[in-house]
Structure 1
């Protein structure tokens, strides 16, 4: 990472018409759980925007009674995600896309020497978030080995009415393996695009990519969470912006369900320029909450129907072909912010490259 924020990242908020959207809704009344590396009070994020939260970090074997505060973050990843959602734009940090929302930090061992435990901890954290009022759960990481505990935790959160967003991963330059969490039915898998709404090369992709958001240059926490730098954000930051977009829509329509919020985000996304309904690179397109808030577009539809569930059919749907997965640009430049796929430790990171053949999320019509 650069030593200082010496470049000007794209003004994605202006492109997204954030100022106009905030006159309609700013995320007020919505709690977004950021299940990540915790949150550190830093310039750029007001303390009143962040709830007490919880730490689910496992204690060292030699210190079984050791506890950790949720408001601490030695890595900076969770703090960056929080700022992308509710930051105030001061001190070199980003202005959050949903500044009126509340972030519930759920601290795991991501970014520490105990990162191998983050998956199981995350499962506990997801359940905690669902039980304590989180409408949206942001998971900007993945873990292969803990999937058997993460999947039921996600399903539990969904049963409580929460909408879950998961980053696709930053392995796109090496392979197109998807984050296993994005394969779970109902979970919104998020890819990343650049300032020209082109798919980022680093963004992982596949049939479980549902939406995309900006993931290019942006302010992120660096130097062991001691300052703001500018660097690629990737799918982690893009996921935070997708979560913030959902917070804006839900704030304007508090009577909608998670399925309805997801449906209008999908319907109003800036789709592929080749006219396809979706592609594996950007999913149904780049999130555009302004279409819902300012243009009144999108039909929320049935409250209890997953918008990504396959349509009823008497014949099996065709498999996704390699041609359908060809790279495609997004038509609209409304997107999200960046943050590179974190180095979670060998165990956590390894999972993203192994997930593809183990579970089928759903077959899209």
Structure 2
């Protein structure tokens, strides 16, 4: 395992994204990002004031109905890593968060524990809790198979409350390319991962539900059962957290915008494919570049109640979407860990398998 970088060596992606300049305009203040994940553990690198009390929705084990679990605990470290990617202070070997002024609401599920089979049902409950308790953005860096319908309903409930939902595509790109079912829900931002040169990571799951991409290569992540910071690929989990942080920056600068408007400007200002295509299945519309909105004043927020990923009205048949991966993002798209949390315990498995006939596939704008 590679030791974590020194405190004086911020991850290159922050420099490429012009984070220091962006923070002079907006740093995420006023925005709450719910991280529905494995919880949060107070560690060097994350200030306690950046993390709200949150909630644990973990189910008690059989025979112990009164047992409870604190939200501010994380035996595995995945949720702690996602939190640090958003609001970390860069000390102790951890990452400097992209939206350091935001607040993270930890919502602890059984992810990463022997009770991981309960994560789907718990996650649905946690999504609803976050939507009802002030979250503007919900980050989902995990996926579930058997509880998809319940989770989809929870996501749609959150969206009805004006919440922007961001989900990682998955880390099965080199295997069966299974993608996270969350990303198939209309309006959810599906995020792929790129490296420091803007090339898609080979591990990144990809397909027609990829909307944006962000850095997911070597980064400080929690390791050794959440006892230390190490450096390794963060994957689409990390990329999703950075996209949630990008949305927090934009929303902090434009608090009167809706989730649709925040999503629209991120899509319109993304660093797109080098071949001139509007999007491709690896990076979606391109790498998230909030600096284009904050520093260049680019992007038209458009209608507040129109999903930017919805298809434009048409009277002609819609051609079948191409499954072919196009060229990677341009170098500038690099402006835009832990492995993907597909668990091998019963209900929490690689998403996208065996449900093709029952899913609502997210349709995109033309």
Q: Calculate the TM-score normalised by the size of structure 1.
A: 0.96
Residue pairs, 1:17-32, within 5 angstroms: 17-32=18-33
Instruction: Report the counterpart of residue 350 of structure 1 in structure 2.
Output: 350
Asked if the contact 1:177/1:206 (under 8 Å) is kept, the reply is no
Residue pairs, 1:30-45, within 5 angstroms: 30-45=31-46
Q: Distance in 1 between matches of 2:279 and 2:331?
A: 12
Q: 1:163 offset after TM fit, Å?
A: 0.1
Instruction: Report the counterpart of residue 232 of structure 1 in structure 2.
Output: 233
**Distance of aligned partners of 1:273 and 1:99 in 2 relative to their CA distance in 1, 3 Å threshold:** same
Q: Distance in 2 between matches of 1:321 and 1:299?
A: 27
Structure 1: which 5+ runs fail to align?
none
Q: Distance in 1 between matches of 2:331 and 2:313?
A: 29
Q: Distance in 2 between matches of 1:10 and 1:316?
A: 46
Q: 1:344 offset after TM fit, Å?
A: 2.7
Asked if the contact 2:10/2:96 (under 8 Å) is kept, the reply is no
Q: 1:329 offset after TM fit, Å?
A: 2.9
Asked if the contact 2:272/2:333 (under 8 Å) is kept, the reply is no
Asked if the contact 1:9/1:219 (under 8 Å) is kept, the reply is no
Instruction: Report the counterpart of residue 209 of structure 1 in structure 2.
Output: 210
**Distance of aligned partners of 1:327 and 1:348 in 2 relative to their CA distance in 1, 3 Å threshold:** farther
Higher mean alpha-carbon deviation, 312-321 vs 212-221, is at 312-321
Higher mean alpha-carbon deviation, 15-24 vs 173-182, is at 173-182
Q: Distance in 1 between matches of 2:81 and 2:299?
A: 30
Question: Deviations along 1:130-168, whole A, 9 cap, x unmatched?
Answer: 000000000001101110100010000000000000000
Q: 1:320 offset after TM fit, Å?
A: 1.1
Q: 1:361 offset after TM fit, Å?
A: 1.4
Instruction: Report the counterpart of residue 264 of structure 1 in structure 2.
Output: 265
Q: 1:348 offset after TM fit, Å?
A: 1.4
Whether 1:252 and 2:253 are equivalent positions in the alignment is yes
Residue pairs, 1:150-299, within 5 angstroms: 150-299=151-300
Structure 2: which 5+ runs fail to align?
none
Instruction: Report the counterpart of residue 341 of structure 1 in structure 2.
Output: 340
Instruction: Report the counterpart of residue 328 of structure 2 in structure 1.
Output: 328
Q: Distance in 1 between matches of 2:175 and 2:50?
A: 38
Instruction: Report the counterpart of residue 101 of structure 2 in structure 1.
Output: 100
Q: Calculate the TM-score normalised by the size of structure 2.
A: 0.96
Q: Distance in 2 between matches of 1:96 and 1:283?
A: 23
Higher mean alpha-carbon deviation, 100-109 vs 59-68, is at 59-68
Q: 1:61 offset after TM fit, Å?
A: 1.3
Q: 1:65 offset after TM fit, Å?
A: 1.0
Q: Distance in 2 between matches of 1:145 and 1:45?
A: 34
Q: Distance in 1 between matches of 2:354 and 2:88?
A: 34
Q: 1:345 offset after TM fit, Å?
A: 3.2
Question: Deviations along 1:81-119, whole A, 9 cap, x unmatched?
Answer: 000000000000000000000000000000000111101
Q: 1:177 offset after TM fit, Å?
A: 2.4
Question: Deviations along 1:172-222, whole A, 9 cap, x unmatched?
Answer: 001232211000000000000001001000000000000000000000000
Instruction: Report the counterpart of residue 48 of structure 2 in structure 1.
Output: 47
Q: What secondary structure sits across from 2:351 in the alignment?
A: helix
Higher mean alpha-carbon deviation, 346-355 vs 150-159, is at 346-355
Question: Deviations along 1:253-310, whole A, 9 cap, x unmatched?
Answer: 0000000000000000000000000001100000000000000000000000000000
Q: What secondary structure sits across from 1:349 in the alignment?
A: coil
Higher mean alpha-carbon deviation, 201-210 vs 314-323, is at 314-323
Q: Distance in 1 between matches of 2:99 and 2:259?
A: 17
Asked if the contact 2:250/2:262 (under 8 Å) is kept, the reply is yes
Q: 1:355 offset after TM fit, Å?
A: 4.9
Q: Distance in 2 between matches of 1:92 and 1:353?
A: 37
Give me the CA root mean square deviation. Answer: 1.5
Asked if the contact 1:145/1:351 (under 8 Å) is kept, the reply is no
Asked if the contact 2:273/2:279 (under 8 Å) is kept, the reply is yes
Q: Distance in 1 between matches of 2:186 and 2:266?
A: 17
